[in-house]
Chains A and B, each alone.
Chain A
Amino acid sequence: DQQVKQNSPSLSVQEGRISILNCDYTNSMFDYFLWYKKYPAEGPTFLISISSIKDKNEDGRFTVFLNKSAKHLSLHIVPSQPGDSAVYFCTGKSTFGDGTTLTVKP
């Protein structure tokens, strides 16, 4: 049973537009979520987090939204840049989703 699911393996957007990456979870015990970004041949790097007591956290171009009743998170990147092209992982309590590969086209 996969407790964190990222149902879109890939996403392609145009530079300057919004990227929306989605994540669903099943474990109600998860009270803190993190997003990591991974470039090829590198380890994941922390991007942004959110506590379950909040429904939104913003850091520059990155915003994470949490809908606890739906057990759903989304990561918004605005505006998207070619350097954002990477694999994005959603995590809860050391449980990772399978990632979404974002490609931002110039």
Chain B
Amino acid sequence: ETGVTQSPTHLIKTRGQQVTLRCSSQSGHNTVSWYQQALGQGPQFIFQYYREEENGRGNFPPRFSGLQFPNYSSELNVNALELDDSALYLCASSLFRGAQETQYFGPGTRLLVL
């Protein structure tokens, strides 16, 4: 059974640029969630995808967007990068979309915006 993987592991961008982060779900999981974790804080929910449809969104602006593919892998896109976007981005997959579902997290992508 393959766990959740994310790529790249680290990334450096400059303000105003665009970035795409990728996530492969755990085998058999059809739901993926993205989180942003700033230094010293807990993960903040960005959005969730269930069977290729957005299934909930946190308090993030529209320049944060996502996709889920038929194989349930996912992308997080961030446009017009700002310095405050520097953070660890975590992807988590689960079998169902319910609030009671245990999520399995990838190791994260660390993004630095200069």
Stretch at the interface among B11-19, B43-51, B60-68, B72-80: B43-51
B105 adjacent to A43 (CB under 8 Å): yes
Question: Taking the complex as formed, is A31 at the interface, i.e. its CB lies under 8 A from any CB of chain B?
Answer: yes
A-B CB contact pairs (8 Å), 30 listed: A32-B100, A36-B105, A41-B107, A43-B4, A43-B92, A43-B106, A44-B43, A44-B90, A44-B92, A44-B105, A45-B104, A45-B105, A46-B102, A46-B103, A46-B104, A49-B102, A89-B42, A89-B43, A93-B99, A94-B45, A94-B48, A94-B58, A94-B99, A95-B45, A96-B42, A97-B42, A98-B40, A98-B42, A99-B41, A99-B42
Question: Taking the complex as formed, is A59 at the interface, i.e. its CB lies under 8 A from any CB of chain B?
Answer: no
Known: A4-B42, A42-B107. 14 other contacts (CB 8 A): A36-B105, A41-B107, A43-B105, A45-B104, A45-B105, A49-B100, A51-B100, A89-B42, A94-B56, A96-B43, A96-B44, A96-B45, A97-B42, A98-B41
Q: Which residues of B contact A51 (CB under 8 A)?
A: 100
The smallest C-beta distance from A53 to any residue of chain B, in angstroms, reads: 11
Question: Taking the complex as formed, is A34 at the interface, i.e. its CB lies under 8 A from any CB of chain B?
Answer: yes
Q: Tell me the residues in window 51-106 of chain A with beta carbons closer than 8 Å to chain B beta carbons.
A: 51, 89, 93-99
Mark B residues whose CB is within 8 Å of A: 4, 33, 35, 40-45, 48, 56, 58, 90, 92, 99-100, 102-108
Q: Which residues of A contact B107 (CB under 8 A)?
A: 41-43
Mark A residues whose CB is within 8 Å of B: 4, 6, 31-32, 34, 36, 41-46, 49, 51, 89, 93-99
CA of A42 to CA of B9, assembled, Å: 11
Q: Which residues of B contact A98 (CB under 8 A)?
A: 40-42
- Across the interface, name the chain B residue whose C-beta is closest to A2: B42
